[in-house]
């Protein structure tokens, strides 16, 4: 195996989101911390894979899908891309600090604040300009183009490819090394009345307004 390509089926989304109903049962800080740690473990395993990874993105790439796409080595999308983490508009939770750091690595601090604080979804053109994707490709061509990229690794020096990926990863890990886990904010958001109300709205279709509590 020379490379791994990840893609969704149907052309509308990269990855289905998390099961929102599970949040109805969150009652203690350990629930919040445990959930974010599970997400980070899954994303971290993909990030640490010793083969080149390519995300082929058609349509929406939000939430957990965005986290998975960010740790792929290459990202190619169609013009219908909508990329982001719109939790400021939806659930009122927050990302673990590792995923915040990954987003900063990808797009910088200013655009990270746009994505997280404003709930901005980036279009394909905006994602390309920000360096989020390597290329924007038409739907009828993207699978063939990505296959061509993947095939390139059959003609390249395997150790050079692996070493380059590993060394870039080490640099990123050193930059991310933070004593502050950010768990205080994960707990504050997931245990808030706002989060409970937002989850209830999603599950039960009940109206609510943000209160900041």
**Range in 30-34, 54-58, 85-89, 178-182 the model is least confident about:** 178-182
Measured CA to CA, the distance from residue 211 to residue 164 in angstroms comes to 47
Q: Does the pLDDT at position 50 exceed 70?
A: yes
Domains of the chain: 4-204 (3.90.226.10)
Q: Does the pLDDT at position 16 exceed 80?
A: no
Tell me the whole-structure pTM to 2 decimals. 0.92
List, in sequence order, every residue forming a beta bridge with 4; answer none if it has no partner: 53
What is the residue-averaged pLDDT of the chain? 94
pLDDT in tens, 131-165: 999 999 999 999 999 999 999 999 999 999 999 99
Query: What pLDDT score was predicted for residue 208?
Result: 85
Query: What pLDDT score was predicted for residue 205?
Result: 85
The answer to whether the beta carbons of residues 142 and 56 sit under 8 Å apart is: yes
């Amino acid at each position: 195996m020379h490379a791994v390509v990840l893609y969704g089926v149907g052309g509308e989304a990269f990855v289905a989101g998390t099961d929102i109903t599970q949040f109805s049962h969150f009652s203690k800080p350990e629930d919040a911390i445990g959930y974010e740690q599970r997400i980070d473990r899954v994303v971290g395993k993909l990030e640490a894979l010793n083969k080149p990874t390519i995300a082929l993105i058609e349509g929406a790439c939000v939430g957990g899908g965005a986290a998975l796409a960010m740790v792929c080595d290459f990202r190619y999308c169609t013009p219908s891309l909508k990329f982001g983490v719109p939790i400021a508009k939806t659930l009122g939770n927050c990302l673990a600090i590792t995923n915040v750091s990954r987003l900063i690595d990808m797009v910088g601090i200013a655009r990270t604040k746009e994505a997280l604080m404003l709930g901005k979804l980036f279009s394909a053109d905006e994602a390309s300009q920000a360096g989020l994707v390597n290329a924007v490709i038409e739907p009828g061509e993207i699978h063939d183009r990505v296959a061509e990229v993947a095939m390139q690794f059959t003609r390249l020096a395997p150790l050079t490819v692996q070493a380059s990926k590993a060394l870039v990863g080490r640099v990123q890990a050193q930059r991310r090394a933070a004593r502050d886990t950010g768990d205080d904010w994960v707990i504050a958001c997931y245990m808030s009345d706002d989060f409970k109300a937002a989850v209830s709205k999603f599950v039960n279709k009940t109206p609510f307004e943000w209160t900041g509590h």
